[in-house]
C-alpha cells in the first residue's frame, strides 16, 4: 500500500479521544476497539463483553513453560519484550484490568482516525475470537494493531509501523547519512590502503544510493 493511501486511510481532521478508567466497564460494548500505552508502543485489543478483551500479545513464557496457570497471569513488560525478540505471541483473552496494565483505556479512538467504517460489532467480535491461539508475530509486519485493524475495519495495516518505517527512511536516507557513509569509505581507503579498496567501493556505492534516495 502506498504512503498516500495510508495517509488517506489514517488521517482525518478529528482526533477526539475517549478516555475511560480500566475499572469502569460501563463504556465498553462488544466489538469495541480498546488501546492503552504499553512500554514503547500502544497496545490494542477487542472487547468481547463480560470484562473480556481479546488481544495479540508477545509472551516469552509459553516458550519455556507449559504451566497454564502461570501463562494465564497478566503478561509483564519483561515477558512482553522477550516475546517480541523471540517472535513468540498469541491472541489471548484477559480482563480489562490485565489488558490495561495500569493505564487508562482509549475506546474506539481509531474510528476518528481511520476513514474506513467499522464493521458490525458482532462481526468484529467474531473475527477477534476466531483468531484466538498461537499466531505468527512480527513487530513490524503483524502486531497487535494489525490484528485489531483486521477485526474492526477489515484492513491488515498498522499506523505505528507506518510511522516507524517513515522515521527510519528519513534517518537512513538523509543527506547526512550519505555524507557520513562517504567519509567512512574514504577514511577506510586512506587508513587501510589498497587492500581495503573493495570495502571502500562498497561504502561509496552505499553512500551514492543513500544520496540518490534522499
Grid cell locating 202:
562498497
CA–CA separation, 32 and 49 (whole Å): 9
CA–CA separation, 104 and 46 (whole Å): 15
Q: Annotated active-site positions, please? A: 43, 55, 144
**Model pLDDT for residues 84-134, shown as the tens digit of each residue:** 888 899 999 999 999 998 889 989 888 888 888 999 999 999 999 999 998
Grid cell locating 31:
466489538
Grid cell locating 34:
480498546
Grid cell locating 121:
460489532
pLDDT of residue 89: 93
pLDDT of residue 59: 92
**Model pLDDT for residues 134-157, shown as the tens digit of each residue:** 888 888 888 999 999 999 999 888
CA angle 45, 85, 150 (to 5 degrees): 30
Amino acid at each position: 500500500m502506498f504512503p498516500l493511501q495510508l495517509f488517506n486511510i489514517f488521517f482525518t481532521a478529528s482526533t477526539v479521544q475517549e478516555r475511560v478508567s480500566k475499572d469502569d466497564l460501563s463504556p465498553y460494548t462488544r466489538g469495541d476497539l480498546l488501546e492503552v500505552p504499553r512500554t514503547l508502543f500502544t497496545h490494542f485489543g477487542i472487547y468481547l463483553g463480560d470484562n473480556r478483551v481479546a488481544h495479540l500479545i508477545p509472551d516469552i513464557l509459553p516458550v519455556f513453560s507449559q504451566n497454564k496457570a502461570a501463562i494465564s497471569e497478566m503478561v509483564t513488560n519483561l515477558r512482553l519484550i522477550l516475546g517480541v525478540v523471540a517472535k513468540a505471541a498469541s491472541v489471548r483473552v484477559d480482563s480489562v484490568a490485565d489488558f490495561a496494565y495500569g493505564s487508562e483505556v482509549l475506546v474506539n479512538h481509531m474510528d476518528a482516525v481511520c476513514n474506513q467504517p467499522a464493521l458490525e460489532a458482532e462481526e468484529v467480535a467474531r473475527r477477534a475470537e476466531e483468531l484466538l491461539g498461537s499466531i505468527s508475530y512480527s513487530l513490524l509486519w503483524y502486531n497487535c494493531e494489525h490484528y485489531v485493524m483486521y477485526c474492526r475495519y477489515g484492513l491488515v495495516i498498522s499506523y505505528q509501523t507506518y510511522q516507524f518505517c517513515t522515521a527510519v527512511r528519513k534517518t537512513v536516507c538523509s543527506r547526512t547519512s550519505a555524507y557520513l557513509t562517504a567519509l567512512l569509505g574514504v577514511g577506510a581507503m586512506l587508513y587501510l590502503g589498497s587492500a581495503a579498496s573493495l570495502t571502500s567501493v562498497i561504502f561509496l556505492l552505499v553512500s551514492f544510493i543513500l544520496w540518490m534516495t534522499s
